[in-house]
Amino acid sequence: MANMSLKKVAMPEQDPNVRNKNFEEVALGYTKEMAMEEAARCLNCKNNPCVGGCPVNVPIPAFIEKVAAGDFEGAYEVITTENALPAICGRVCPQENQCEGKCVRGIKGEPVGIGRMERFVADWHMANAKETEVNIEKNGMKVAVVGCGPAGITCAGELIKKGYDVTVFEALHKPGGVLSYGIPEFRLPKLDVVAKEAPINDENDVSHGRKLPTVPPAFPSAAFSPVLHILLSYSSSFHSFPSL
């Protein structure tokens, strides 16, 4: 039965007198009981307007249904069909203007806490899911991704799943782009969330750390697939490189 409360289940937070003395994350995340209670607020609307508000079209009612049933790994699988970074997006996406901004429960009362549940599901997965070996058949092609922000990381991950050897080129000394340099620790913990959800290292067939300004002349562009050219010419407008 739907939970008809007009308010979201409250998000636990650090006490103001504690958080004013540290840089740790302010919001502490739902417990599984809280997540299931919030999930029961979803009406599973037939035309699911929340999905239309999501830039990557996460099947929101389907993942919430799994949360309501206590199937958190199932919810994670649903989310990650469309979004590779749910722990990050659950924390920092502007849900009030996107999915939650379209939620019908928001017409009278607060919208369903979609971001809070997404965060819960991703955190639950990181804490509880067993590592499984994924055998990816390599296709023998190399792709370079320029820029190791969320778009570059997502692009690299999707290409790796398809069998490409991916190299991510990054101008700064840490991967992550805005995730590492633009969002403060108290909103998005770097080691506990970003580094775990978006691990960039040689084990994952992704290398980083080369300086972008020195890269273009050294690019053996013929060795890479056309994906390189799309990414490099997109990125060049930001980094003032000549277009290809």
Binding site for ligand SF4 (CB under 6 A): 42-45, 48-50, 60-61, 103-105, 112, 114
- What angle in degrees, to the nearest 10, is found between the helix axes of 60-68 and 114-128? 60
Angle at 132 between CA 128 and CA 135, to 5 degrees: 155
Q: Are 194 and 174 in contact (CB under 8 A)?
A: no
User: Is the CB of 99 or the CB of 166 nearer to ligand SF4?
Assistant: 99
Q: Which two tokens stand for residue 61?
A: 């009612």
- Least distance in angstroms from the C-beta of 144 to ligand SF4: 38
Per DSSP, the three-state class of 145 is strand
Provide φ and ψ at 169, rounded to 5°: -100, 130
Q: Write the DSSP symbol of residue 47.
A: T
Task: Tell me how far apart the alpha carbons of residues 111 and 113 are, in angstroms, rounded to a whole number.
Answer: 6
Task: Tell me how far apart the alpha carbons of residues 105 and 120 are, in angstroms, rounded to a whole number.
Answer: 20
- Least distance in angstroms from the C-beta of 123 to ligand SF4: 20
Q: Classify strands 142-146 and 165-169 as parallel, antiparallel or unpaired.
A: parallel
User: Is the CB of 61 or the CB of 189 nearer to ligand SF4?
Assistant: 61
DSSP element (H, E) containing 167: strand 165-169
Task: Tell me how far apart the alpha carbons of residues 241 and 232 are, in angstroms, rounded to a whole number.
Answer: 9
- Least distance in angstroms from the C-beta of 88 to ligand SF4: 20
